[in-house]
Amino acid sequence: MKTAKLKNFLLTEGLRVEVEVESRKGGAGPTGSYLIFGDSIVNFAINPESPLKLVRREDGYFIIAEEEIPVELPPKPKFHEELYEGIPMKMIARRHGKDVLASTVLQKCILKDLGKGCKFCGIELSLKSGDTVEMKLPEMLAEVSRTAKKYGDATHVTLTTGKFEDEREEIITMSKVSEAVNDASGMPVHVQITPPQNVELLEELKCDTLGIHIESFDESVLKKVAPGKFEMRERFEIVLKKAVDIFGESQVSTFVILGLGEDEMRTVEGCRRLLELGVIPYLVPFRKIRGTEMENYSQPSPEYTERVLIRVAEMMKNFGVDPRRNKAGCVKCGGCSAIGEYLREV
């Protein structure tokens, strides 16, 4: 099985596991577990009904598919066991993938309070369960990033956030944290924000790469599953274009979720418009999170996601937009999307 096809299958169907793996249950980032095969890393869900199985033998870990595929599990990060002023560092930031330090700066979202939150998002679940702190201060994340870099646990950083009530405060806060992390560790930083109404605020943002997430190009789907984002829909592409002017081609990305019931042609066309701007459409299959409003929603089929991924990868190649040039963050990690693997194979 080719790398892209295998990764796409793991992202949609997950794995039966016969070994103990660390699994993330909630938060603003990806849920699931990670494994490495070849030069790819994948975030997979544990699925007792998956046709693929993860086993451990004396000579290592293997996926049992049509053939036995040797894989690795990322080593446990050492900084997770350290403390910052009595707080476990893993409550401030986590290691995602094999080498990205990730943290949700504000673990709450005003859209949730307004009844307009994204129904698939679990941003407040880890806060409610006591696994994190609500607000991560610059000095907190500076020390955690320094420690993670010292131990070799991370080489780049992702900072996301729930939406602030004031958009300028959101930009200023994320900039201060990003600068503190970069100054302390020297690692490049990816920041994720909501699209500001005042596009000029992007000039004040200090980071290496930027994520502004559209979620879906199908307005009927967006209105249903992400009403707050639906209200912002008309400014997304304006803001993304400005962001490319500031950060450069292939350094701005947007999550596009596959499997929400969206129209396939609208999705492909939306990705084409972004590629014309130099934006990376980071295509991820819907992953249900227990405790959210969509916890019982079905996963997309691997056949559907592969069809879209191949079409977008072909366009990506034609436009010269390349995730492999991205300096930091989710796109550089690549664990939640097979778009990079399909790009290599088209």
- The pLDDT of residue 18 is 82
- The pLDDT of residue 30 is 65
Report yes or no on 16 lying in a domain.
no
Q: Is the CB of residue 328 less than 8 Å from the CB of residue 157?
A: yes
Q: Is the CB of residue 287 less than 8 Å from the CB of residue 31?
A: yes
Report yes or no on 53 lying in a domain.
no
R_g (Cα) of the chain, nearest Å? 19
Q: Which residues, given as ranges, of the chain have pLDDT below 70? A: 23-31
- The pLDDT of residue 117 is 96
Q: What letter would DSSP give residue 61?
A: E
Report yes or no on 70 lying in a domain.
no
Main-chain dihedrals φ then ψ at residue 287, nearest 5 degrees = -125, 115
Predicted confidence (pLDDT) per residue in 299-341, tens digit: 999 999 999 999 999 999 999 999 999 999 999 999 999 999 9
- The pLDDT of residue 275 is 98
Contact residues for 135 (Cβ-Cβ < 8 A; gap 6+): 105, 106, 107
Separation between Cα atoms, residue 16 and residue 287, nearest integer Å: 16
Total number of domains in the chain: 1
- The pLDDT of residue 66 is 80
- The pLDDT of residue 65 is 85
CA distances from 76 to 34, 90, 223 (A): 11, 12, 39
The tokens for 143 are: 């020390």
Q: Is the CB of residue 15 less than 8 Å from the CB of residue 1?
A: no
The tokens for 204 are: 């004040």
Report yes or no on 176 lying in a domain.
yes
What CATH number corresponds to the domain at position 110? 3.20.20.70
| DSSP calls for 29-49 | S--BEEEEETTEEEEE-B-TT
- The pLDDT of residue 21 is 78
Q: What is the pTM of this model?
A: 0.94
Q: Which domain holds residue 188?
A: 77-345
3-class SS of residue 56: strand
Report yes or no on 58 lying in a domain.
no
Look at the alpha carbons of 293, 115, 129, 127 in this order and tell me if their dihedral is positive or negative: positive
Report yes or no on 5 lying in a domain.
no
Report yes or no on 59 lying in a domain.
no
- The pLDDT of residue 273 is 98
- The pLDDT of residue 29 is 57
Report yes or no on 22 lying in a domain.
no
